[in-house]
Structure 1
Amino acid sequence: MTLPSLLLEAGSHQLEMAETLIGVLRFLLIFLAARTLAEVLVRFQLPTILGELLAGVIIGVSGFHLLVPPESQVAINESFVQLISSLADVPAPEIQQLYNEDFLILEGVANLGLYALLFLTGLESELDELVAVGAQAFTVAVAGVVLPFALGTIGLMVLFQVDLIPAVFAGASMTATSIGITASVFGELGYLKTREGQIVIGAAVLDDILGIVILAIVVALGAGGSLEIGPILKLVAAAVVFVVAAIALSRSAAPAFDWVIDRLKAPGEVIVASFMVLAVVMFAATAIGLEAALGAFAAGLILSSSKHTHAIQRAVIPIVSLFATIFFVLVGAGMDLSVVNPADPANRAGLVMAGFMFVVAIIGKVAAGWSFLSDKPTNRLVVGLGMMPRGEVGLIFLGLGTASGLLTPSLEAAILLMVVGTTFLAPLLLRVVLKDKDPGADSGDGSSTPQPEAQLTA
C-alpha cells in the first residue's frame, strides 16, 4: 500500500472516530439531561415530558448549544467542538460538517420514537369508545381549528396591521394540536382511555387532517400560486377514506395478523410483524399525500383488535421510552428563547404580538372543550387543555413560514413564543386539574371509567 493511500485511510479512520464520538456524546447528553430532569419533576408530580422538553432547552439553542439543529444557524458549543477535535485529531471546521450530517440520523431516530408513540396511542385506543365519541371529537377538532385561526388572523390584521398572507400563516400556526405531546401526557396521567382522553385523541387526529388541508392552502398562498379547489378536495377525500379504511381494517385485518403471528416461531415475531404493519400503513399515508404520523396512529388502530395487543404493547413501550425521549428533547432543543428578552428593543413588538397570540391560542382550544353536545358527564376543561399544546406541529408551521420568507422577525418571535408557551403550559395545567382525580372511577366530575392501560412513559 502506498503512502498516500495509507494517509487517506488514516484520515478516513479519524473522521469515522469523530462521527462516532459525536453520536455517542450526543446520546449521552440527551438521556442524562432528560432523565435527570424527569426524575426531579416526577417528585413534584409533574409529567416527565416537561422534563424532556426542558432538557432540550437547556442543552439546545437556548442553553449550552450542545444540541443544535443545523437549520437554527447557531454555532455549536466551542468546548464540545474542541473536545471532539482533540480526541479524533480532526480539524474543528470538519467537526461542524460531521455534526450536521449526524444530526439528520438523530432526527430519524427521534421520528421513530414519535411514530412508535403514535402507534402505541392507536393501539391503546378503545375503538368502540373512539367511534362512540366521534361526533364530539369532530366538533372539538373543527372548533379548535376555526376559533384560533379566525381570531388570530383577524386580530393580527386589525390590531397589529399585519399583512394578509403573514396573518393567515400565523393564524394557521395556531390551529395545530401536537398529538404526540397530548398522547404522552394523557398516557402518563392514566387518562388515555377515559372519555375525555378519547375525545382529545380523536380530535387531535382530525386536527392533523384539517391542518394538512390548511397547510396546503397557506403554502399555495405564500408561493403566489392560484388556489385550485380540485387538489384540495382530493386531499380531503383521501384523508377521509384513509381514516375510514383504518377503522374498517381494525375489524378485518387484525384476525389475519393474528393468524400470521401464531405461525411464526423466530424470536421477536410480534414486534417485527407489528412494525411491518406500521411501515406499510405509514407508507400508504405518505403515498396519498397525508402525514406519516397519521399513518402511525392508524396502524395502531388497525391492530387494536388483535388478541396479541398486550404483547405488542409490552414490546413497543421500551422503544417509546427510549426514542420518544429523543424526539421531545429535540423539540425543546430547537426553541430559541432569546427572543423573550424585553431589554432588547427589537424583541418588544414580538413580545406584544406573542402575548396576543398566546391568549388566543389558549382561548381557542379551551373553548373547543365546550363546543360539543353530550348526554354523558364529561370534564370539558380537560378536553380543552388537552387540545392546547402545539409542540412540534407548530414548529413545523414556523419553519415553513421562515423558509418561505413570509414572516417578519417580530411575527416569527410571536409564533415561537406561542408554540413554546402552549407546549409547556398544557402539561402543567392538566396535572393541576387532574391531580385529585381518579381516572379509574366515575366520580361524576366528567371522568369516565377506563379499562386498565399500559402507561406511556415518553
Structure 2
Amino acid sequence: MPEIGAHQLEVAETLIGVGRFLIIFVAARLLAELLVRLQLPTILGELVAGVLIGVSGLHLVVPPETQGVVSQGLLQLLGSLADLPADVVRDLYAESFPNLQEVANIGLFALLFLTGLESELDELVAVGTQATTVAVAGVLLPFALGTLGLMTLFHVDVIPAVFAGASMTATSIGITASVFGELKMLRSREGQIVIGAAVLDDILGIVILAVVVSLAGGGSLAIGPILKLVAAAVVFVVAAIGLSRSAAPAFDWLIDRLKAPGDVAVTSFVVLTACFFPPAVFGWEPPLGAFAAGLTLSTSRHTHEIEQAVKPIVALFATIFFVLIGTGMDLSVLNPMDPANRAGLVVAAFLLLVAVAGKVASGWSFLSQQPTNRLVVGLGMMPRGEVGLIFLGLGTQAKLLTPALEAAILLMVIGTTFLAPVLLRLVVSGQSNGPDVDPLAEIPT
C-alpha cells in the first residue's frame, strides 16, 4: 500500500468534519420544516432526522459506541476525494467523532442556559402554592411510578430505573408556552399555573438529573451520599435564584460600561463558564451549572439582548445535539415482529402511560376556590420535549441505559410531545378563547 501523506490525512479529516455537518444540518432542516407545517415542535424533526441518518437508517452519521457500520458508499466517496483507502477513512471517522460530540455539548449547555434565562421566576411567585403543588406532584408521581414500576414489574436495575423515572419529571416550557399562546390561554389562570409549575419542574428535574448522573458515575447508593448530593444541588440552585437578585444588577452595571462589540455575549459566556466550577467541585454534571447561569441572569435588564446572542448558538449547536441523540437510537429493538423485542415494547407502553397519567393527575393536586380547568392544567404539564431529550442524551452518553430502555424513553418523549398539543386543542376547542388578558391580580400569592 502506498505511503499515506500528512496532507491526505488532513484533507480526509476536513472532508469528514464538513460532510457530517452538511448531512446533519440538511437532514435536520428538512424534517424541521416538515414538522413546522404540521404545527409540531421542530426538535422532533431534528430527532427524526438523526434516526434517519443514524444506525436505524442510512448509516451516514454513526456514533462509534453503537458499534454501527458507517455507510460503505460514504466511506468510498470520502476516500476517493482524499485519495485514501476506505478503511483508513473509517478509522479517521471513528477517531474524530468525539470532536462532534464536544460541539454538540456546546448546544446542550447553550440550551440549558437559555432555559434558565427564560424561567420567569416572578410568574412562579405570582401563582404561589398552586404552581408549586402542581410542579411537585408532576415530578414525584411520574418519578416514583416509573422507577418502582420498572424495578418491580420489569426487573430493571436500580440506576437505569431511577434514570428512566427521572427522565419523566420535567416539562417543556417552550412547547407548553407555544401551545397556550396559540390557544390564547397563556395569560389565563390555567396557563399561568402551568407556566409557573413548568419553571419549578425544570429546576427540580435538573437537580434530579445532576444527582442521578453523579450517583451513576460513583456507583454509590448509600443514603448519606445521596442526601448530601441532593442538599448541595438544591442549595446551588437556590443560590443561583438568590443571585438573580444581586448578581444580575452587577452584570447590568458592567454591561452598561462596556463599549466593545459583543460585550453582552462575551460577558454572558463568562458567567456561564464560572457557573461550571461548583458542579465540577461537587462531582455533578456540567448541565446543572449551565442552567444555574441562566437563572442567575434571568432578572437582568439585558435579558432580551442575551437571548438574541444565545439563540443562534442554540439553533446551530443544539440541532447537532438532538440529531446525535437520534443517530444513536437503534429502533430495531422496537420491531414487534421479533418476539425478543415485545418485552421492550411493553416497557415503552408502560413509560408512556405513566408519563401521561402522572402529569395529568398533577392537575388535581392543588386547592382552588376559583373555577379552573384541571384537565387543561394536567395536559399542559405533559410535553417533555427538549428537556426529556436532554435527559435521554445524557443517559446515553453516560452509558446508563440499554438500547431497549433508550428506545422506550425516546417513544415516551415523542409520545407526550405529540399528544399534548393535540389533546389541549381538543379540550379547549369548545371554550371561548377571549383576549389574552392578564389575570395575575385574580391569582392569590
User: What TM-score bracket applies, with the shorter chain setting the length?
Assistant: 0.7 to 0.9
Q: Distance in 1 between matches of 2:10 and 2:217?
A: 40
Q: 1:23 to 1:413 in 2, by over 3 A?
A: closer
* Contact 2:255–2:263 (Cα < 8 Å) also in 1: yes
Residue by residue over 1:369-411, the C-alpha shift from the partner in whole angstroms, topping out at 9 and shown as x without a partner, is: 4334456646322343135873231354466565xxxx8xxxx
Match of 1:301 in 2: 295
Partners of 1:303 and 1:309 within 8 A in 2: yes
Q: 1:444 to 1:213 in 2, by over 3 A?
A: farther
1:43-58 alignment, distance < 5 Å? 43-58=37-52
| Mapping of residues 1-400 of structure 1, within 5 Å | 11-133=5-127, 135-136=129-130, 138-156=132-150, 159-160=153-154, 162=155, 166=157, 169-177=160-168, 182-186=172-176, 188-189=178-179, 194-195=191-192, 196-216=194-214, 223=219, 227-373=221-367, 377=372, 379-387=376-384, 390-397=388-395, 400=398
Residue 82 to residue 244, structure 1, CA distance change in 2 (3 Å): same
1:286 Cα deviation (Å)? 3.1
Using the TM superposition, give the Cα deviation of residue 183 of structure 1 relative to its aligned residue in structure 2, in angstroms.
4.1
After superposition, give the CA deviation of every residue in 1:219-246 in whole Å (9 maximum; x if it has no partner): 66xx5x5x43332222122112111111
Mapped contact 1:137–1:203 kept (Cα < 8 A): no
Distance in 1, matches of 2:38 and 2:90, equals 38
Give the 3-state SS of the residue equivalent to 1:386 in structure 2.
coil
Partner amino acid, structure 1, of 2:160: F
Of residues 62-71 and 188-197 in structure 1, the stretch that sits farther from structure 2 once superposed is 188-197
Assess if the C-alpha contact under 8 Å between 1:141 and 1:207 holds in 2: no
TM-score calculated relative to the size of structure 1 = 0.82
Task: Measure the CA separation in 1 of the matches of 2:267 and 2:312.
Answer: 17
Letter in structure 2 aligned against 1:151:
L
Task: Describe the SS at the equivalent of 2:264.
Answer: helix
Q: Deviations over 1:46-93 (max 9, x none)?
A: 221121111111111111011111111101111111111111122322
Take 2:404 and 2:158, find their aligned partners in 1: how far apart are those partners? Answer: 12
User: Of residues 420, 425, 434 in structure 1, which corresponds to 2:415?
Assistant: 425
Q: Unpaired segments of 5 or more residues in structure 2?
A: 441-445
Question: CA offset at residue 413 of structure 1?
Answer: 4.9
Residue pair 1:118, 1:183 contacting (<8 A) in 2 also: no
Aligned mates of 2:435, 2:133 — CA distance in 1: 21
Instruction: Report the CA distance between 1:363 and its aligned residue.
Output: 2.2
TM-score, normalization: structure 2?
Answer: 0.84
Which amino acid in the other structure matches residue 209 of structure 1? V
> How far is the alpha carbon of 1:121 from its aligned partner?
2.1
**Is residue 415 from structure 1 mapped to residue 405 from structure 2 by the alignment?**
yes
**Pair 187,22 (structure 1): closer, same or farther in 2 beyond 3 Å:** farther
Contact 2:32 2:42 in 1 (8 A): yes
Aligned-pair identity (%): 53
Say which is worse superposed, 361-370 or 61-70, in terms of deviation: 361-370
- Show CA shifts across 1:185-241 (max 9, x none): 346547599522231132122022124334555666xx5x5x433322221221121
**How big is the shift at 1:330?**
1.3
Please tell me the root mean square deviation across aligned C-alpha atoms, in Å: 3.3
C-alpha separation between the residues in 2 aligned to 1:434 and 1:447? 19
Q: 1:266, CA displacement in angstroms?
A: 1.6
After superposition, the C-alpha distances for 1:412-447 in whole angstroms (9 at most, x for unaligned) are 354223212122122222322455899xx9959999
Give per-residue Cα distances to partners, 1:324-361, cap 9 Å, x unaligned.
11111112222111112122222223223333333233
| Mean Cα deviation higher: 140-149 or 299-308 | 140-149
- Name the aligned partner's letter for residue 202 of structure 1: L
Q: Distance in 2 between matches of 1:120 and 1:200?
A: 15
Cα distance change of structure 1 residues 448 and 349 upon mapping to structure 2, 3 Å threshold: farther
Displacement of 1:28 in angstroms is 0.9
